[in-house]
Structure 1
Amino acid sequence: MPDFSDQAEVTRDAKFATRTTLLARRRRLGDAERATAARHVQADLADLVRRLRPRRMTAYVPVASEPGGPELPAVLHAALPEGAELLLPVLRADLDLDWAPWTGPDDLVAAGRGMREPTAPPLGQAAVTTADLVVLPALAVDRRGVRLGRGGGSYDRALARVPATTLTVVPLHDGELVNALPVEPHDRPVHAVVTPTNGLRTLDGAAPR
């Protein structure tokens, strides 16, 4: 049931204001700064994949100013062990996420909300529950693992399906790991972030059990 209390409204307003500030900061990043950040994020995530050797993982195609660059799926797929599978999100009409295998950069199509999606048949919303590693986007994450997305709720629903023992990692730009973010009851924490300067960091109290 939706929460219409005064406190819930204050929290939603705080999230909106924080999103606006973060998006404006990302838009001010120059092309060279974005490219350098993407290289560092790609390298650190690829190192993580090679170390964990997941049999199935999820990621996404970064767009616009999102950290990681559009080459991120190709970099992660190359780091996977032979026969392992990379799934990318497919946005449903209800804004929930389905998942489909990545089969190469030429097999991506433009979709809603600026996303690029694989053309392979989707495997269902529950496919994310079988991943050994989940890489997902955010505008910021705080030190408790609270994640601030763009407000559509797609990844909130996906994260609600992910087992607590599955490592969840968010690529960020420098300055987007913050002390505290506004949080609502449906928000699910993530376990770690990757930033260009500091690499992989596991968050306080958010390590997978």
Structure 2
Amino acid sequence: MDMSEDLVTAKQALRAEIRDRRRVMPQHERDEATAKLTEHLKNLVAARGVKRLSCYLATPSEPETRPFLSWAYDNGIEVLLPVSRDDGLLDWAIANDSPDENVGLYGIPEPTGELIGPIAINDVDLIIVPASAVDKKGVRMGWGRGYFDKTLGSMGKRPPVYALVFDSEYVDSLPQEVHDQPVTGVVTPSALITF
């Protein structure tokens, strides 16, 4: 096995462990994490004077984003939500106050709004991305499909990028491949960290 195969295998094992841990997380812990994450995200948006951002609709096992999205909508902050495409790129839709959602590729929740194309993300002040884990150097490990790495890697001028994870998923170090895009910071229930 060469080094890149070792990296891929290590990442797959780590993702499986994180999925298992997330699956058995008690609901009261999840609710508490959601409340704390929402506060940190509101503080981040306020501190940076953000008017337009991109975020995502969390899957049932991910740190929940919907209370934050509702707050952003209520406060006049425009939010772009990703829609996965077959070609590995992300389209975007502007979040609205509708509770309706579509089921996208891979069973991921997606917005129902009108699609505005991949380059719309170039006009946001802040990007919030999902992650399975983030390390202390800003290395983000996603779920292996590469959508956000491609998107971030293609941006000429990138705004701050923060990943959302549970506390146990902010780790000392992660395996890193060439295409992995670093993040500016991480938001966990107990902390908002900028690297």
Answer yes or no: same fold by TM over 0.5. yes
Structure 1's unaligned 5+ residue stretches are 204-209
Match of 1:201 in 2: 193
Q: Which amino acid aligns with 2:134?
A: V
How many angstroms does 1:163 deviate by?
4.5
Change (3 A) 1:161 1:130: farther
Match of 2:11 in 1: 15
**Does structure 1 residue 98 correspond to structure 2 residue 94?**
no
Cα deviation code 1:63-95 (max 9, x no counterpart): 11211344332133334xx4x411000111223
- Residue in structure 2 matching 1:32, options 8, 18, 28: 28
Match of 1:74 in 2: 70
Q: Output the CA distance in 2 between the equivalents of 1:124 and 1:14.
A: 34
Change (3 A) 1:18 1:187: same
**Does structure 1 residue 119 correspond to structure 2 residue 115?**
no
Q: Output the CA distance in 1 between the equivalents of 2:100 and 2:88.
A: 22
Match of 1:180 in 2: 173
Match of 1:167 in 2: 160
Change (3 A) 1:121 1:24: same
**Structure 1 segment 78-157 matched on structure 2, within 5 A:** 78-79=74-75, 82=76, 84-157=77-150
Q: Output the CA distance in 2 between the equivalents of 1:113 and 1:75.
A: 27
Cα deviation code 1:141-198 (max 9, x no counterpart): 001111111111111111113455511011111111111101110111001111112x
Q: Give the match's secondary structure for 1:21.
A: helix
Change (3 A) 1:43 1:128: same
Q: Give the match's secondary structure for 1:141.
A: strand
Cα deviation code 1:88-138 (max 9, x no counterpart): 001112232111100123342222223222222211111112111000100
Q: Which amino acid aligns with 2:151?
A: A
Q: Which amino acid aligns with 1:145?
A: G
Q: Output the CA distance in 2 between the equivalents of 1:101 and 1:157.
A: 20
Question: Is the Cα–Cα contact under 8 Å of residues 68 and 171 in structure 1 kept in the other structure?
Answer: no
Q: Output the CA distance in 2 between the equivalents of 1:115 and 1:73.
A: 17
Aligned length: 195
Q: Give the match's secondary structure for 2:58.
A: coil
Measured on the aligned residues, the alpha-carbon RMSD in Å equals: 1.7
Change (3 A) 1:54 1:178: same
Q: Output the CA distance in 2 between the equivalents of 1:163 and 1:44.
A: 27
Q: Output the CA distance in 2 between the equivalents of 1:176 and 1:111.
A: 25
Q: Output the CA distance in 1 between the equivalents of 2:23 and 2:138.
A: 24
TM-score by length of 1: 0.87
Match of 1:49 in 2: 45
Question: Is the Cα–Cα contact under 8 Å of residues 131 and 142 in structure 2 kept in the other structure?
Answer: yes
